[in-house]
Amino acid sequence: MEAITNLVEHWLEPIVAFCGAAALYFGGFERDVQGGSGFRQFLGLLLTLVVFLVVWAVVDKVVGPDSVKGILVATAVAGLAIPLEARVGFMIVGVRTRRAGH
């Protein structure tokens, strides 16, 4: 049970950060997801989350695992890289992201 608690505590920060970053990127910057079915678009969003978590984990390990500095730097880097992460995540399933209206 302790292992599950540690896992949840460790991954809660990047998942919450992804929700905010994805909402700002897709809503605030007016990005459209084009192509594919609704299921493929959903898979693209999940794969974007996976890419975000991988980037966050790598930066966290490099900067300093289990430190406030590591969490803040990892969150900032992964959050700023959300356009690239989204492009990769959606490209894997053959869906594109573009500016709205284009």
Q: What is residue 8's predicted lDDT score, i.e. its pLDDT?
A: 58
CA 36 to CA 13: how far, in whole Å?
A: 30
81 secondary structure, DSSP code? T
CB-based contacts of 49, cutoff 8 Å, min separation 6: 15, 18, 22, 89
Q: Report pLDDT digits (tens) over 26-40.
A: 888 777 787 878 899
Contact criterion met (CB below 8 Å) for 95 and 40: yes
Q: Report pLDDT digits (tens) over 6-57.
A: 555 678 889 999 999 988 888 887 777 878 788 998 999 899 999 999 999 8
Q: For residues 38 and 88, which has the higher predicted lDDT (pLDDT)?
A: 88
Q: What is residue 53's predicted lDDT score, i.e. its pLDDT?
A: 92
97 secondary structure, DSSP code? E
